[in-house]
Chains A and B, each alone.
Chain A
Amino acid sequence: MGFLNYTFDWSVLWRHPYGNMFIKGVVTTIHLSLLAWMIAVIVGIAIGIFRVLPIRSFRFAGSFYVQIFRNTPFLVQLFFWYFAAPLLLPEPAQEWLYDNVPNYAYWAGVAALGTYTASRVAEHFRSGLLAIPHDQYRAAYSTGLTTMQTYRYVIAPYAFRIIIPPFTTEFLTCFKNSSLAMTIGVMEVTHTAYYVDSFTSHGLETTTAASLVYLCIALCVALFMSFVEKRIYIPGMIARGQ
């Protein structure tokens, strides 16, 4: 098969040694994104709660975090975690870090993607909390629940369900953003595609394969999230287009 002077050779995707590189790249993309997503959910929910607490200093800390991480480009944040963040440590600690943390770039990528996505998750979670009518709080308090109990048993269960659609989007974006980690040398699937291209000059095949990998991951995530949404659906809560 050939067009435009270009002869397709799809075997670069599985031929030795490129096949193994691709598998490693896909695996790296998946666990980098999943680790980052875990950080994002934990930190994001904490920050989201900070932003609605009735204590001013917590609210300030929460909004400070969100403004910093949401309003600077992700690429710049990646460079920050890779090149600048270690410089904040004393010199012996820096040396220890580079010698004992295998693949520092990978962890810088996880930290960058996790903290960046956390700022977006925090905003979604906060808006989920704010979307609950004030009467719900009053009703909960009137039954004698404490603030903690109100959030734990009444508000949070609603809020989590409201934010599932935006969470799906963030989860997908987390996978797609992981491709930027190639700029600091992480061998995820996009970098692998470029790398194999530079050896074989078959960039069309390799970039197509990388795109399909993202497409597959995205479809799986979307299916999984819609399964979760159906599973925990509370009848009558929100009108769903079903």
Chain B
Amino acid sequence: MPNITDEQLWQAVLGEVELSVSKANFTTWLKNTFIVSKDDNEVVVAVPNAFAKEWLENKYHKFILEALQNISGKIEKVSYVIKTASPDPKKFNKINSQKEGSRVDGVTPFSQSADNGFDGILNPNYIFENFVIGSNNELAHAACVAVSKNPGKVYNPLFIYGGVGLGKTHLLQSIGNEILKNDPRKKIKYASSEKFTNELVSAIKNRGTKAFKDVYREIDILIIDDIQFIAGKEKTQEEFFHTFNTLYENEKQIILSSDRPPNAIPALEERLRSRFEGGMIADVSAPDMETRLAILKVKMTEKNFEVPDESLKYIASCFQKNVRELQGAMSKVAATCQFHGLEPNLDNTKKILADLVIRPLKKAITPKDIISAISGFYDVSTQNIIKKGRKKEIVKPRQMAMYLMRTEIKSSYPNIGERLGGRDHTTVMHAVEKIKNDLENNKALEQEINLIKEKLYT
């Protein structure tokens, strides 16, 4: 077979040998082997240690020779040498310095290769190709694609926000995967803000903050998921602030996600908020009917399972707010039908999803729940909400509380007024009317309401 590289040849040989030996033996003896040299009729194979050498020479020689002959005809002789896979360090350094003159000196070549795809946290299944675009996430998707093509140059930082299960993580990881695909040498750090905090805490504990700083400040792309959780953690915010600045100044891409826009994250330091808002902010919201159908169809092709349109429509109409639940429902239908040999028609689909759909969606909530949810969300105390006083930062939460009491538990206006410190029913009517109007014009407010509702009902 002409034009086959040594590596391809060896992979093919391994593939053949794998069939004839047990898995444990295969991994023990053939891991880290490769072809060192090859001429017309002799192949020299490198093995990691003398035990492997003995074993291959005495036990697997026949398999290997046969496989080589099958693939590459003329081979008559195979010999084995002990050699570890790491390339000659001198040579490696040389290549390195030629190719990547910009790299910091003193960083050892081996740690570099380990850094790629950082900690293996990037999930290779999250790529742009399988992300379904709809009107709800067009902007976010476009921004992410732009960033992945040109990291650090356009939209920096990129801030994506949206509710639970709407694809934030998918988008974030897709950027990481896309960048790695284009340039595998890029150092990408993907972490949740919790992980960032934990690493910082353990660094402080072990007195290794310097190492921590170095790790975070020498990377090309920083992706932090669920950034809202650093709210209220002062030291983490400070450290993040410095990391942010260092990366930003060096034109390194920063990508953040959150469940709400920066200005709605309570207890976030002003300097961080303004920085988050300094780049591009894009939201992903709940998908519309068409998008949901499209998502289901993609899922259907993935699973290789045919579902009639009416069933799809039914699923899409039942799960409106959360893509993850939508996909979960689809998986459930597919799995149950395959398992029991059912036809995925509308009736069966309804039966299968019955327990998911008719769950007690609205647990009984009380005005008290609403007030405490509001106070938690806006970080104002319950007393302040009830107390007299018309400070701006309290008025809005109070009006939200009134609105929610009216729409969610249908309390009467006088009753709401009573609950909130004996206010007049006209005050309440005005508040509800105002929020209703604002909602029509203000997307961010809608987002906020949804988040508070999420809190209420979970």
Genuine A/B complex: no
Interface residues of B, Cβ cutoff 8 Å to A: none
